[in-house]
Amino acid sequence: MTLWEKHNDDGTIRCLLCPHRCLIRPDERGICGVRENRNGGIALITAGVISGYALDPIEKKPLYHFFPGSMILSVGSYGCNLRCDFCQNYHISQNIPKEQTVRLKPAQLVRQAVNAKGNIGIAYTYNEPVIWYEYVAECARLAAGEGLKNVMVTNGYINREPLVAMTDFIDAFNIDLKSFNNEFYRKYTGATLKPVLEAIRIVASSGRHLEITTLILPGLNDSPAAMRQEAEWIAENAGRGVPLHLSRYFPMYRRNDPATPPETIMMLKEIAGEYLDYVYTGNMQGIDGGGDTHCPSCHTVVIRRSGYSVRITSLNDDGRCQACGHQIL
């Protein structure tokens, strides 16, 4: 049985993990495709099922202010509770294979993480890790016992109670804020905006590390007004020190629109920078140098990034700017 469920007299079960609140009939699954009403409870059919794992630069998540320059074992499974028609990982998020060949028990995954040279922890990523909740929770607690960090790369579409519980065992989050428009969420993801904003508030108030990513899609979420509204909201509700990553879209899955023009990303970066101290650009193929970290106080470049190559140039061991003492990390 899973942690977040409510049983009904007619044999149906209400899943309480995410805002879809799926009512699941016997032998059927919720929207995510991995939580099934089986033998009187919800079974997580992908528990331990691995779609892929690799030792990645932590900047690839992306996390730029959490152990910069380090490596982290990244692992994912299958399924998602959103239906984004621009999904970059649609082959695993929108597909549950009948034959699941790679399985790792939590202790096995953590042992691999412990043995990986230079590794700081485990990042739950690639597909949507929220729907993998019970497996993530068990792995995370074992990993913490080995001195490892735990990272969630998530769409943030999760109910309040399970998310609050998650902040007890996850050290850092990157939440994907796909747009600041509810109609966008309804039309292009099958979800709604409000729960994602609530998730950002919860993580920000928990004291856990938080960064936010927005994939910029031409003609859909790339207006100056929308970016101004998003950045202002983040500053007011999560803090102006929360890093925001603006990622360039490329044609993928069901969308064949041309890639986002680099100049659009740079324009939106300037707007967001009026409200936020740290705004980064992604998927730019080195066009702009938008991955560098500048001290918001004295403007010294404290971390230089080229792709996933990272050079810390002006930071003290406690994460302060060497030039002026401003706290960066």
The Cα angle at residue 189 between residues 96 and 126, in degrees rounded to 5: 45
For residue 77, the model assigns a pLDDT of: 97
DSSP 161-175: HHHHHHTTT--EEEE
| pLDDT at residue 100 tops 80 | no
98 confidence band (pLDDT: 50, 70, 90): confident
229-277 tens-digit pLDDT = 999 999 999 999 999 999 999 998 888 889 999 999 999 999 999 999 9
Say if pTM beats, i.e. exceeds, 0.75.
yes
pLDDT at res. 2: 80
User: Quick one: tokens of 190?
Assistant: 């099958």
The band of 97, judged by pLDDT with boundaries at 50, 70 and 90, is: confident
Secondary-structure breakdown of the chain: helix, strand, coil percentages, each rounded to the nearest 5: 25, 25, 50
- E strand or H helix that includes residue 303: strand 301-306
Tell me the C-alpha distance between 284 and 291, whole Å: 10
Statement: residue 169 has pLDDT above 80: yes
Whether residue 99 has pLDDT greater than 90:
no
| Alpha carbons 186 and 268: distance in angstroms, whole number | 23
**312 touches 302 (CB < 8 A):** yes
> What is the per-residue pLDDT across 200-235, written as a single tens digit (0 to 9) for each?
999 999 999 999 999 999 999 999 999 999 999 999
Q: Residue 255's pLDDT is what?
A: 86
Calculate mean pLDDT across residues 60-77.
Answer: 98
